[in-house]
Structure 1
Amino acid sequence: MTDFPGAPDPDAPRPGGRLRVLAAMSGGVDSAVAAARAAEAGHEVTGVHLALSANPQSFRTGARGCCTLEDSRDARRAADVIGIPFYVWDLAERFREDVVDDFVAEYAAGRTPNPCLRCNEKIKFAALLDKALALGFDAVCTGHYATVVERADGSRELHRGVDAGKDQSYVLGVLDAGQLAHAMFPLGDTTKDDIRREAERRGLAVAKKPDSHDICFIADGDTQGFLARHLGTAEGDIVDEDGNRLGTHTGAYGYTVGQRKGLRIGRPAPDGKPRFVLDISPVTNTVTVGPAEALDVTALTGIRPRWCGEPPAGPGRYTAQLRAHGDETPVTAELADGELKVAFDRPVRGIAPGQAVVLYDGTRVVGSATIATTVRRTRTAAAEPTAP
């Protein structure tokens, strides 16, 4: 890899504080401004766009994703304006194995994965970072809205970004201390509106480019159709909590815990209230539905914990976030036998195995784990408010 033409010269002198930075440029406004800020700070910056599809035209078009031919061109134009070298790296095979195949396998197992977390863990801060370090770069810079704080002892902490509506610390909760030591997030102290205004001032054509909200590798936004093409169709039953058959589906993988819409149940519940997906069984290809209160969860177990620093020494009080832009809820959590045990102060709803739980201490990200199992509140328990 040392023959990469954009690799820094390891023998070249570096003024104090100047880093050799590889800026991951998706083609959007955030990563463009992040690269520009890194260059303006005096770092030696090289831009790189990750080609994540063997056939980019199969990914989303119309500037709605982060993996299209348009995005690659937008990233190159931004690099030209900033005045930094620019390259395209092909990570399509690694992306397919670590993100797309994992996504399909998780749904096939009845779980609900978050592909953005997996991409950060396996692609941007594993495959990309490993290659960057091997080539002599000091850090990888991205346009995530999060903040890295360096402590007096030289260790680093990951904190929320100041823009609560754009904060992306949740999807970065998979980073460990070693990865965090080489991560640069220049946008954490700025709001999205200010970033767009800054992009205009800098003459970046992506200043008004729409944000991407969908899964980049599902071209038409139809997740159920994508899964059907990969997993096939298999008719199964939709049942209530007593096992009564209410309808049928064409694949249990097309549902997620907490889902209300698209159930296609013929008759209403006896009490007239809406029903939600409670459980998904890939073994029997059965989807179980029931009332909202049956979704109340009081505790969970997380597997494959990852820590943004030292693991907690014992039980501790934290807040937990369960969705990319969800609210925080107070919890008690501890590491036991390699698993994360989380107990909620009050029940929460709609927690699906496969999702991530991310722990916070104030604004600091403590770590994360993949939700494996949950404990539901008994239906006979007294009613009490639930967290959103």
Structure 2
Amino acid sequence: MPLDRAEALNSMGFAKPPSETRVVVAMSGGVDSSVVAAQLAEEGYDVVGVTLQLYDHGAALAKKGACCAGLDIHDARRVAEEMGFPHYVLDYENIFRDAVIDEFADSYLAGATPVPCIRCNERVKFKDLLQTAKDLDADCMATGHYIQRMMGEKGPELHQAADSNRDQSYFLFSTTKDQLDYLRFPLGHLPSKNATRELASRYGLAVADKPDSQDICFVPNGNYASVIEKLRPGAADPGEIVHVDGRVLGTHDGVIHYTIGQRRGLGIGGLSEPLFVVKLDVENRRVIVGPKEMLSTRTVPVREINWLGDQPLMSQPEWHVSVKVRSTRPPRDAIIRPISATEAEVELIVAEEGVSPGQACVFYETGGSRILGGGWIWRG
């Protein structure tokens, strides 16, 4: 039986007028979240903007391409003033340091290649901020992420963004089913980032031409090593560069300056074959190098799995899916063999290079857009 006018769902999925629907918008100060807030305000929703100050406000004032500090907080506040809705800034520096930055440093020092943006979404934005939204009696929380929430037979599902070049599903695999029930992603259906900027111009937002953030917010210019040295003094102790056959080829100024798969900047020129970093022996301060073929692997151990499938992960001995082991790579065919509800071995049908502990392995429906979850690669 069709819904009458009074029962029709609004664009956020609620059977009431937008004016009676409170939406907390997570505002980073960038163009994406600003457009979400402006669009919902224009549609008549009861919008409340919330920005998290995640790290040192003063140190970030002049940093371009950051978020959640300094000028970006100012930009978020200005959008709220222009569009006429309340805006709050919450000091989450201590939470962010404990939940994201410290683990990033420790993981990097252990020879992993961490992805702190995923932990930030998981432990800060979609946990503490989401709880804040509920405390404000919001019906839902909206963000500027490029990903889609679609209703399926068994509730809301997570799907890739319409624009594959902007898709952020790799960074959102740990979104739980309960969180997905409360979250909204109004930009996920847009065909391109240009469409977002056109909306920003239409709303008259000063951030319409603001550049996208490129680096991890607390890592200026992508220089991980310098940040680790500040967080963990003495982390850059020198050591040996060793070939897999045992030959000592040179010395280095700290394991933290190297990543799995690295070829350039090894400082061991004059060799007949190109060599790559294949392992980081942190305990013995050794950088292990070898030929490119040693970077290839088909077996990927994964733990801390967040499963979003309709049936429990352990309900089948194996799942034929597609997976991403790096954010910049397309999904590739694979088989998941569950060990427990949160741990599995993933077999890649075609071997991939540079699979590194600390990165995420994200599961996708083969031939479709649905995200089935994912986990953390935990050993090489």
Q: TM-score, normalised by structure 2?
A: 0.90
Give CA-to-partner distance per residue, 1:264-319, whole Å, 9 cap, x none. Answer: 22432x3x3x2211001111111111121110111111011112354432211111
Q: 1:349 is aligned with what amino acid?
A: E
Report the counterpart of residue 338 of structure 2 in structure 1: 335
Report the counterpart of residue 375 of structure 2 in structure 1: 369
**Secondary structure of the equivalent of 1:304?**
strand
Report the counterpart of residue 36 of structure 1 in structure 2: 38
Give CA-to-partner distance per residue, 1:321-355, whole Å, 9 cap, x none. Answer: 12223211100113213412100111000111010
Q: 1:35 is aligned with what amino acid?
A: A
**Secondary structure of the equivalent of 1:67?**
coil
Report the counterpart of residue 324 of structure 1 in structure 2: 327
Is 1:51 equivalent to 2:53 in the alignment?
yes
Relative to 1, partners in 2 of residues 1:372 and 1:291: Cα closer, same or farther, differing over 3 Å?
same
Report the counterpart of residue 304 of structure 1 in structure 2: 304
Give the alignment partner of residue 351 of structure 1, picking from 355, 366, 369.
Answer: 355
Q: 1:33 is aligned with what amino acid?
A: V
Report the counterpart of residue 9 of structure 1 in structure 2: none
Report the counterpart of residue 255 of structure 2 in structure 1: 252
Q: 2: distance between equivalents of 1:168 and 1:81?
A: 28
Assess if the C-alpha contact under 8 Å between 2:35 and 2:200 holds in 1.
yes
Report the counterpart of residue 384 of structure 1 in structure 2: none
Identity %: 39
Give the CA deviation at 1:242: 0.6
**Secondary structure of the equivalent of 2:379?**
strand
Report the counterpart of residue 11 of structure 2 in structure 1: none
Q: 2:156 is aligned with what amino acid?
A: R
Assess if the C-alpha contact under 8 Å between 1:59 and 1:219 holds in 2.
no
Q: 2: distance between equivalents of 1:152 and 1:354?
A: 34
Assess if the C-alpha contact under 8 Å between 1:309 and 1:366 holds in 2.
yes
Relative to 1, partners in 2 of residues 1:340 and 1:19: Cα closer, same or farther, differing over 3 Å?
farther
Counting only pairs closer than 5 Å after superposition, residues 149-228 of structure 1 correspond to structure 2 as 149-153=150-154, 155-190=155-190, 191-228=192-229
Assess if the C-alpha contact under 8 Å between 2:61 and 2:71 holds in 1.
no
Relative to 1, partners in 2 of residues 1:70 and 1:320: Cα closer, same or farther, differing over 3 Å?
same
Q: 1: distance between equivalents of 2:221 and 2:354?
A: 26
Q: 2:355 is aligned with what amino acid?
A: I
Q: 2:351 is aligned with what amino acid?
A: P
Q: 2:208 is aligned with what amino acid?
A: A
Give CA-to-partner distance per residue, 1:94-153, whole Å, 9 cap, x none. Answer: 001111111001011111110110110011101111222133222221100000001244
Give the CA deviation at 1:49: 1.0
Is 1:80 equivalent to 2:86 in the alignment?
no
Give the CA deviation at 1:60: 6.6
Relative to 1, partners in 2 of residues 1:41 and 1:366: Cα closer, same or farther, differing over 3 Å?
farther
Total equivalences in the alignment? 356
Deviates more, 1:345-354 or 1:365-374: 365-374
Assess if the C-alpha contact under 8 Å between 1:38 and 1:186 holds in 2.
no
Gaps of 5+ in 2: 1-14
Report the counterpart of residue 92 of structure 1 in structure 2: 93
Q: 2: distance between equivalents of 1:372 and 1:295?
A: 16
**Secondary structure of the equivalent of 1:367?**
strand
Give the CA deviation at 1:82: 2.1
Give the CA deviation at 1:368: 1.0
Q: 2: distance between equivalents of 1:209 and 1:318?
A: 37
Give CA-to-partner distance per residue, 1:240-267, whole Å, 9 cap, x none. Answer: 1111111111221222111122212243
**Secondary structure of the equivalent of 1:205?**
coil
**Secondary structure of the equivalent of 2:378?**
strand
Assess if the C-alpha contact under 8 Å between 1:298 and 1:348 holds in 2.
yes
Assess if the C-alpha contact under 8 Å between 1:358 and 1:367 holds in 2.
yes
Deviates more, 1:37-46 or 1:114-123: 37-46
Assess if the C-alpha contact under 8 Å between 1:59 and 1:218 holds in 2.
no
Relative to 1, partners in 2 of residues 1:67 and 1:261: Cα closer, same or farther, differing over 3 Å?
farther
Is 1:264 equivalent to 2:267 in the alignment?
yes
Q: 1:25 is aligned with what amino acid?
A: M
Q: 2: distance between equivalents of 1:47 and 1:29?
A: 14
Assess if the C-alpha contact under 8 Å between 1:60 and 1:67 holds in 2.
no
Report the counterpart of residue 288 of structure 1 in structure 2: 288
Q: 2: distance between equivalents of 1:219 and 1:242?
A: 37
**Secondary structure of the equivalent of 1:126?**
helix
Give the CA deviation at 1:215: 1.2
**Secondary structure of the equivalent of 1:348?**
strand
Q: 2: distance between equivalents of 1:246 and 1:168?
A: 40
Report the counterpart of residue 10 of structure 2 in structure 1: none
Relative to 1, partners in 2 of residues 1:27 and 1:354: Cα closer, same or farther, differing over 3 Å?
same
Q: 2: distance between equivalents of 1:52 and 1:142?
A: 17
Counting only pairs closer than 5 Å after superposition, residues 233-244 of structure 1 correspond to structure 2 as 233-244=236-247
Q: 1:284 is aligned with what amino acid?
A: N
Q: 2: distance between equivalents of 1:40 and 1:27?
A: 18
Deviates more, 1:99-108 or 1:243-252: 243-252
Q: 1: distance between equivalents of 2:330 and 2:277?
A: 21
Q: 2:289 is aligned with what amino acid?
A: V
